[in-house]
């Protein structure tokens, strides 16, 4: 009897696996001769360039000091490190031998030209909803870049997930096909923004929390996530911003990296904004309109609350002392206050008045008001830096100036002085985790 049950079970498993394998198997799409750049319509190439900028493709498909799209960026996941591949039109290492059909299949199904499953660090769960003509435009753009012969390091993923068939299982569970569906109750601009944010923009890849298998939680869209040791703040009603995002503020931030009620872009969002500067301006406005709508705060509601939040934040600012341009008398009290007075107040007094770096009132910062000290600690350690080739620092880093205890005391002081929020309970542990991650990067010689 037992033998029969086992035999039946084995047969069922074999059949099920056979079915899964047949479903997961993708044939190789024959290699094509590389297309001459002149065979693509320049208008389509230009359209593709702007969509690739919305998608920040270059961020993961390039690494510091190497040509754009030649790959090599380490994407660190809980399951291992995956390196952005070479997507220049080099026929052997890059995608030069890929047809438009093969490119579409990769973007929609996460399968490369040879039929191998790609890891979902490549956000095909977003790109799958893009239109054919948009995908073809990005294809035209990439195929007209300069080919670069640069090998990509192989993925370093834990066993057994390094078996690519597991990626197929992941897709069975989490890859939802189909075009983007417009919301007819919204304006065309909002719908344009929604389409771009959900497809090429893949905003949710960082701003939506992920489940144990690394897929975005569908029920918690834009509830906030993590990215490369930073917190990606919630964009929905849980947004920590004391002044709710408006389409104008979101546009300022996404296009120029600064808004006077929210502050400067920093961390992994910095290169995203660098890319959005090259996107179509109207598209960035549309994305801003969509993103600003996610918090569900109506314009009428927002005005009164925003004014109150600004007033509350300003009332906590340290005053400028008469006759002094720098320095500031220390408030009495703990170390954090003295450190703030000596190291921070020079710029962060009566926020927003300092013309070089335009510091925002700290009481208005999502980072100071958020649930985790992570981003504040990252910024105190490494500062805030401008777009490549622009002058100066926006804020210098203090990792050499302050000890870990002093940084933790400073972060806790900033939280207690500038907000009404409860004390963070994990400041030191978070700082240790950031330090360990940085040491790891330094020792393994990886860029991050």
Partner 1 sequence: MTVVLNINSQRHEVDADPATPLLYVLRNDLKLNGAKFGCGLGQCGACTVLVEREPVFSCLTPIAVLEGRRVRTLEGLGTADKPGPLQAAFIKEQAAQCGYCIPGMILRAQALLEKNASPTQAQIRDHMQPNLCRCGTHMRILRAIDRAAKDMKTASATPPAPTETAR
Rounded least distance, CB 242 to partner 1, Å: 26
Q: Bridge partners of 111? A: 117
- Residue 433 is a binding residue for partner 1 (CB under 8 A): no
Strands 74-77 and 80-83: antiparallel
CB-nearer residue toward partner 1: 290 or 340: 340
CB-nearer residue toward partner 1: 45 or 376: 376
Q: Which of 165, 175, 347, 433 binds partner 1 (CB under 8 A)?
A: 347
Q: Give the torsion through C-alpha atoms of 112, 118, 120, 122, to 10 deg.
A: -50
What does the DSSP 8-state code read for residue 384? B
CB-nearer residue toward partner 1: 77 or 357: 357
Contacts of partner 1 in 312-331 (CB under 8 A): 325-330
CB-nearer residue toward partner 1: 34 or 386: 386
- Residue 404 is a binding residue for partner 1 (CB under 8 A): no
- Residue 403 is a binding residue for partner 1 (CB under 8 A): yes
Report d(CA 280, CA 289) in Å as an integer: 14
Rounded least distance, CB 320 to partner 1, Å: 13
> How many distinct helices (H) and strands (E) make up the chain?
19, 7
CB-nearer residue toward partner 1: 176 or 393: 393
- Residue 400 is a binding residue for partner 1 (CB under 8 A): yes
- Output phi, psi for 216, to 5 deg: -65, 135
Given a contact cutoff of 8 angstroms between Cβ atoms, the answer to whether 280 and 195 are in contact is no
Q: Which of 118, 339, 362, 384 binds partner 1 (CB under 8 A)?
A: 339
At 83, is the secondary structure helix, strand, or coil? Answer: strand
- Residue 402 is a binding residue for partner 1 (CB under 8 A): yes
Which of 41-49, 136-144, 371-379, 397-405 is the region at the interface with partner 1 (rule: CB under 8 A)? 397-405
Using only C-alpha atoms, what is the Rg of the chain? 24
Report d(CA 134, CA 54) in Å as an integer: 12
CA angle (30, 36, 37) in 5-degree steps: 120
Which of 138-146, 243-251, 335-343, 436-444 is the region at the interface with partner 1 (rule: CB under 8 A)? 335-343
Name the residue among 207, 205, 200 with its Cα closest to residue 250. 207
Q: Which of 91, 396, 435, 437 binds partner 1 (CB under 8 A)?
A: 396
What does the DSSP 8-state code read for residue 255? I
Q: Which of 398, 413, 418, 424 binds partner 1 (CB under 8 A)?
A: 398
- Residue 346 is a binding residue for partner 1 (CB under 8 A): yes
Can you spell out the DSSP letters for 90-137? Answer: -TTTSSTT--HHHHHHHHHH-B-TTSPBPPTTS-HHHHTTS-HHHHHH
Report d(CA 398, CA 379) in Å as an integer: 9
CB-nearer residue toward partner 1: 184 or 326: 326
- Residue 98 is a binding residue for partner 1 (CB under 8 A): no
- Residue 284 is a binding residue for partner 1 (CB under 8 A): no
Which of 164-172, 229-237, 252-260, 392-400 is the region at the interface with partner 1 (rule: CB under 8 A)? 392-400
Given a contact cutoff of 8 angstroms between Cβ atoms, the answer to whether 200 and 272 are in contact is no
CB-nearer residue toward partner 1: 113 or 417: 417
- Residue 439 is a binding residue for partner 1 (CB under 8 A): no
Query: Which residues here bind partner 1, judged by CB under 8 A?
Result: 325-330, 335, 338-339, 341-344, 346-347, 354, 356-357, 392-393, 395-396, 398-403, 406
């Amino acid at each position: 009897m037992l033998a029969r049950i086992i035999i039946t079970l084995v047969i069922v498993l074999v059949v099920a696996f056979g079915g899964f394998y047949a479903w997961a198997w993708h044939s190789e799409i024959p290699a094509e001769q590389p297309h001459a750049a002149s065979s693509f319509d320049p208008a389509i190439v230009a359209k593709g360039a702007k969509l690739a900028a919305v998608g920040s493709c270059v961020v993961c498909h390039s690494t510091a000091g190497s040509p754009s799209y030649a790959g090599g960026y380490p994407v660190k996941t809980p399951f291992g490190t995956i390196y952005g591949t070479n997507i220049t039109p080099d026929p052997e290492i890059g995608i030069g031998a890929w047809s438009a059909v093969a490119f579409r299949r990769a973007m929609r199904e996460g399968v490369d030209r040879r039929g191998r499953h790609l890891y979902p660090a490549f956000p095909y769960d977003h790109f799958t909803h893009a239109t054919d003509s948009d995908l073809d435009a990005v294809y035209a753009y990439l195929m007209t870049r300069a080919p670069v012969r640069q090998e990509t390091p192989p993925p370093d993923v834990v066993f057994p997930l390094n078996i690519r068939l597991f990626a197929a299982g992941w897709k069975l569970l989490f890859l939802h096909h189909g075009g983007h569906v417009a919301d007819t109750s919204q304006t065309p601009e909002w719908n344009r923004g929604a389409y771009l944010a959900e497809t090429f923009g893949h905003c949710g890849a960082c701003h939506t929390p992920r489940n144990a298998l690394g897929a975005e939680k569908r029920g918690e869209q834009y509830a906030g996530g993590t990215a490369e040791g930073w917190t990606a703040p919630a964009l929905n009603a849980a947004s920590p911003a004391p002044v709710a995002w408006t389409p104008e503020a979101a546009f300022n931030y996404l296009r120029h990296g600064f808004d006077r009620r929210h502050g400067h872009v920093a961390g992994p969002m910095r290169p995203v904004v660098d890319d959005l500067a090259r996107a179509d301006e109207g598209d960035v406005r549309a994305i801003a309109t969509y993103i600003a709508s996610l918090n569900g705060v109506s314009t009428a509601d927002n005005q009164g609350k925003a004014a109150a939040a600004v007033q509350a934040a300003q009332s906590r600012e340290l005053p400028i002392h008469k006759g002094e341009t720098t320095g500031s008398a220390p408030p009495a009290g703990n170390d954090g206050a003295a450190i703030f007075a000596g190291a921070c107040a020079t710029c962060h007094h009566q926020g927003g008045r300092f013309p070089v770096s335009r510091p925002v009132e700290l009481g208005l910062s999502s980072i100071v008001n958020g649930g985790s000290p992570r981003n504040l600690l990252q910024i105190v350690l490494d500062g805030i830096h401008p777009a490549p080739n622009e002058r100066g620092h926006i804020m210098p880093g203090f990792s050499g100036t302050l000890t870990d205890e002093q940084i933790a005391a400073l972060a806790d002081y900033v939280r207690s002085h500038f907000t009404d929020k409860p004390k963070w309970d994990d400041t030191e542990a978070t700082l240790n985790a950031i330090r360990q991650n940085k040491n790891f990067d330094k020792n393994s010689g990886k860029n991050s």
